[in-house]
Amino acid sequence: MSSRRRTAIVGSLVAASFSAVVILSTTAGAKDEGPGSSEGGKAVEQAPAGVELTTLLPERISVDNSSKKTAITATVKNGGTKESDDIRLLVVGFDGLRINEVKGCTEIPEKDLPEGSNSGYSCAVGELGAGRSRSYDVDATYDLGKEGKICLPVQSADGSTTFWQQGPVPFGTVNPSPDAPATPLLLGTDNQPVAPGGDELPRTGVAREALVPLGAAGAVLVAAGAAGAWWTRRRPAGS
């Protein structure tokens, strides 16, 4: 093989390798929450004819191991053929997942939070056209030493009717990486925190046994679909 031909082949290989590195670097640096998923969601009370309300959460998120900060996109969608009446979306955090802010939404007072939750926001969606969706940017923190869940109910504007509820559904990882800059979490996965010096999970926050009645309460909410079942911690007026 002539030296000129060898030089041409080597040059092509180098160029191809450089292109692969550029492509991989660009992909790794891109923000990607993955496709939206309605996992853990269920219709509660029947929506008006022609209206089909659901919610979507990213299939994966990433938690900064230093600041514990994470970003989540919460989406409400009308997959029906008719426009909805005025509706609202609630974004509620449980256990290690705390909702710090939802852009364009109002914080739910502590006294009005559902039993077992630590934070929440109410978003006035208004009327949602057929086939339309609306997304909200959620700023949150995640204590990776605990399990963490999020809940997205879709209600009438006055909160008297719950049409759909996603969750409380967990975000978590089965492969914690405390030495990495960030920890990826998957929707629908129970978080397995790194044990501080052993294989046993740390007993912080709500104990495992206490999660059973919380889950049962969530099932009751989905079955009943009533505002009274959801707002179990609402205080009497004037208290």
Residue with the bigger pLDDT between 185 and 7: it is 185
pLDDT the model gives residue 155: 98
pLDDT the model gives residue 178: 77
pLDDT the model gives residue 28: 28
pLDDT the model gives residue 26: 27
pLDDT the model gives residue 24: 30
Q: Is the pLDDT of residue 203 over 60?
A: no
pLDDT the model gives residue 34: 52
Q: Is the pLDDT of residue 48 over 90?
A: yes
**CATH number 2.60.40.1120 is the correct assignment for the domain at 31-230:** no
Q: How far is CA 105 from CA 124, 136, 138, 193, in A?
A: 7, 9, 10, 31
Decide the pairing of beta strands 106-107 and 53-58: unpaired
- Could you tell me the maximum CA-CA distance found in the chain, to the nearest angstrom? 93
Q: Is the pLDDT of residue 165 over 60?
A: yes
pLDDT the model gives residue 234: 43
CA 193 to CA 178: how far, in whole Å?
Answer: 9
Strand partners, 138: 72, 102
Q: Is 38 helix (H, G, I), strand (E, B) or coil?
A: coil
Question: Once rounded to an integer, what is the mean pLDDT over residues 182-204?
Answer: 71
| pLDDT tens-digit map of 91-141 | 999 999 999 999 999 999 999 999 999 999 999 999 999 999 999 999 999
Question: Once rounded to an integer, what is the mean pLDDT over residues 164-173?
Answer: 97
Where residue 195 falls among pLDDT bands split at 50, 70, 90? low
pLDDT the model gives residue 1: 54
Q: How far is CA 40 from CA 73, 121, 149, 167, 206, in A?
A: 16, 19, 11, 5, 21
Q: Is 53 helix (H, G, I), strand (E, B) or coil?
A: strand
